[in-house]
Amino acid sequence: MSHRKVYIETYGCQMNVNDTEVIFSILAKAGYERTENMEEADVLMANTCSVRDNAEQRIWGRIDQFYGQKRLREGVVTGIVGCMAERLKDKLLESGRVDFVAGPDTYRSLPSMLAAVRPGFPQINVELSREETYADIEPVRIDKNGVSAFISIMRGCNNVCSYCVVPYTRGAERSRDPRTIVREACDLFSKGYREVTLLGQNVDSYLWKGNDGDVDFADLLASVAAISPDLRVRFSTSHPKDISDKVIVTMSEHDNICRHIHLPVQSGSDAMLEKMRRRYTREWYLGRVAKIREVMPDCAITTDIIAGFCGETLSDHEDTLSVMRAVGYDYAYMFQYSERPGTLAALKYPDDIPAEEKTRRLNEIISLQNELSLESNRRDVGKTFKVLVEGPSKRDPKDSCGRASNNKMCVFPSAVPEKGLSDCKAGDYVNVKVLSCTSATLICERV
C-alpha cells in the first residue's frame, strides 16, 4: 500500500491546520504521499470543524464532492477526521458516503484504519485521550511561505463555556512536554523559519509538571524566545480569566515576543458572560486590558465576539458595543450565536434571538469594528516598525508585505535603489515607516 496519494482539506482553526500537518507526517511514515489535487488522490479526507453550524453544513457539501470522486474512480477511499468526526460519528457512517471517521486524538491509528478499509466496512475511531499530544511527531509543514509556522503546545480544553462544542470534540486539556516544543521551534529556526505561533485553546493554563519543577506558560514563552532574537514568538488564544501578570511582564521583557494578545471577550454584558460561563466580569476584563496597556502601551489587542446569545437584550448588546469602544480593539472575529447540540447552552437556554435580529446586531458590531480598526491603524501613521517579510504583495508584485510586531499587515516597496535598499525576500526583517492606511493594511515606506 505504499505511495498512495492523500488529499486533505482543512477547516476551522489554526490548531486544525497544525493537526493536518501531524496527519501528513504520520501518513508519510506509512508510505503515503501528499497531493494537492483531489482528482489524483487515492485517499480524500476533510479535517473538520464543528464550532458553528454553517461550518458543518459546508463540510457536508464537500463530503458529497468526495463521494463523486469515489464513484468516478475505483479504489478511492474517503474520510472525515477532526471535530465533526468526533461529534457526528454515527451520522457520518450512516450517510454511507465515508470509509473512515477519525477523532482528533486518533491520528496515529490512521495508517491501520486505512489499511483495514474495505467496501461496506467503514473504520471508526473517535476515542478521546487524556495523554495524546503528538509531542514526538514532527509536523509536515503545509504552509507555503516557509517563514512562519504553528506549534500546538497543548490539546483539548477544560473550560466549559456554555456555547462551545470544543470540550466535547477535543476532550480534556493536556499540555505538551516543553522540551519537545523548544526542540520543534529550534528546528524550524534552523530551517529558515522566523516566526512561531504557540497554539492552545487556553494557553494561559499551559502547565507541565516536570521532574525539575513546573513549567507554566510564561516560562515556556521565555524559553522559546531565548532560541534567537531573530525568531519571533506569537501565541493564541489567551483567556481573560487566566492571563497572568507574569505572562504580560515576560512579553515586555522580550522584544521578539510579539506585541499582540488575542483576548476573546465574547460579550460586554455581565449577564451574558455569566450565562456563557466565561468566569470573568466586564470589569475584570477591562482590568486585564489596563494591565496590558500599562506594561506594554504598544500591544495590540484583538478579540472574538458573539452576537445574539440566548436571552441577549438590547441593553446587553449595547454593553458589547461599549466594551468594544472602551478597549478600542485593533481587530475582531465576530460571529452570530449558533446553537451547538449537546452544549450546556443548548440544554439550558432557548436560542431565542431571531435570525434577522442576530444578523442586525452582528452587522452593528462589524461596522463599529471597522471604525475601530481604521482608528487603530490611523494611530500608527508616522510610526516606524520592524517587519518580518512574508513575500510579494498580492496587489503589486513590486511591493512586499509582512507583519509588524502588533500583527498588522504592512505593504512597502520591495527595493529602494536610490536609498541603497536592495530587494527584500521572505524571512528578512526590514524597517518601515507608515505613510497611510486602510482599515486592513498599513501602507509604508522602507527606512
Q: Which residues bind ligand 5AD (CB under 6 A)?
A: 51-52, 163-164, 264, 266, 304, 306, 335, 337-338, 340
Exposure string over 78-92, b if 16+ CB within 10 A, otherwise e:
bbbbbbbbbbbbeeb
Q: Within positions 14 to 43, which residues make up the interface with ligand SF4, using CB under 6 A?
A: 15-16
| Binding partner at 304 among ligand 5AD, ligand SF4, none, C-beta below 5 to 8 Å by kind | ligand 5AD
Region from 1-9, 11-19, 331-339, 381-389 binding ligand SF4, contact rule CB under 6 A: 11-19
Q: Can you tell me the distance from the alpha carbon of 373 to that of 332, in angstroms, rounded to the nearest whole number?
A: 9
Q: Does 98 bind ligand SF4 (CB under 6 A)?
A: no
Q: Which residues, 6+ apart, have CB-to-CB distance to 417 below 8 Å?
A: none
State how far the alpha carbon of 252 is from the alpha carbons of 68, 225, 425, in Å. 53, 12, 28
The closest alpha carbon to 426, from 443, 414, 442, belongs to: 414
Nearest distance in Å: CB 201, ligand 5AD: 9
Nearest distance in Å: CB 84, ligand SF4: 8
Region from 1-9, 12-20, 265-273, 393-401 binding ligand SF4, contact rule CB under 6 A: 12-20
Strands (E), 37-125: 43-48, 77-82, 100-102, 123-125
Nearest distance in Å: CB 134, ligand 5AD: 21
Region from 20-28, 48-56, 319-327, 398-406 binding ligand SF4, contact rule CB under 6 A: 48-56
* CB closest to ligand 5AD, residue no: 304
Nearest distance in Å: CB 438, ligand SF4: 28
| Binding partner at 285 among ligand 5AD, ligand SF4, none, C-beta below 5 to 8 Å by kind | none
Nearest distance in Å: CB 86, ligand 5AD: 15
Q: Which residues, 6+ apart, have CB-to-CB distance to 436 below 8 Å?
A: 381, 443
Amino acid identity at 276 = M
Q: CB-wise, 13 or 362, nearer to ligand SF4?
A: 13
Nearest distance in Å: CB 237, ligand 5AD: 7
| Whether the Cβ atoms of residue 48 and residue 79 lie closer than 8 Å to each other | no
Region from 165-173, 260-268, 346-354, 390-398 binding ligand SF4, contact rule CB under 6 A: 165-173
| Binding partner at 16 among ligand 5AD, ligand SF4, none, C-beta below 5 to 8 Å by kind | ligand SF4
Nearest distance in Å: CB 431, ligand SF4: 36
| Whether the Cβ atoms of residue 24 and residue 140 lie closer than 8 Å to each other | yes
Looking at the chain, how many residues does it have?
A: 447
Amino acid identity at 402 = G
Q: Does 50 bind ligand SF4 (CB under 6 A)?
A: yes
| Binding partner at 15 among ligand 5AD, ligand SF4, none, C-beta below 5 to 8 Å by kind | ligand SF4
| Binding partner at 430 among ligand 5AD, ligand SF4, none, C-beta below 5 to 8 Å by kind | none
Q: What value, to the nearest 5°, has the Cα angle with vertex 146 and ends 141 and 148?
A: 85
Site string for ligand SF4, 114-153 (x = CB under 6 A): ----------------------------------------
Q: CB-wise, 53 or 423, nearer to ligand SF4?
A: 53
Q: Which residues, 6+ apart, have CB-to-CB distance to 389 below 8 Å?
A: 147, 400, 401, 402, 424, 425, 426, 427, 428, 429, 430
Q: Does 49 bind ligand SF4 (CB under 6 A)?
A: yes
| Whether the Cβ atoms of residue 411 and residue 381 lie closer than 8 Å to each other | no
Q: Which residues, 6+ apart, have CB-to-CB distance to 260 below 8 Å?
A: 234, 299, 300, 301, 302, 330, 405, 406, 407
| Binding partner at 12 among ligand 5AD, ligand SF4, none, C-beta below 5 to 8 Å by kind | ligand SF4
Q: Does 13 bind ligand SF4 (CB under 6 A)?
A: yes
Nearest distance in Å: CB 20, ligand SF4: 11
Q: Can you tell me the distance from the alpha carbon of 102 to that of 105, in angstroms, rounded to the nearest whole number?
A: 8
Q: Can you tell me the distance from the alpha carbon of 21 to that of 12, in angstroms, rounded to the nearest whole number?
A: 14
Q: Which three cell numbers stand for residue 294?
A: 500599562
Residue of the chain from 8, 153, 161, 166 that contacts ligand SF4 (CB under 6 A): 166
- Give the Cβ contact number of residue 39 at 10 Å: 11
- Contacting positions for ligand SF4 (CB under 6 A): 12-13, 15-16, 49-51, 82-83, 165-166, 169-170
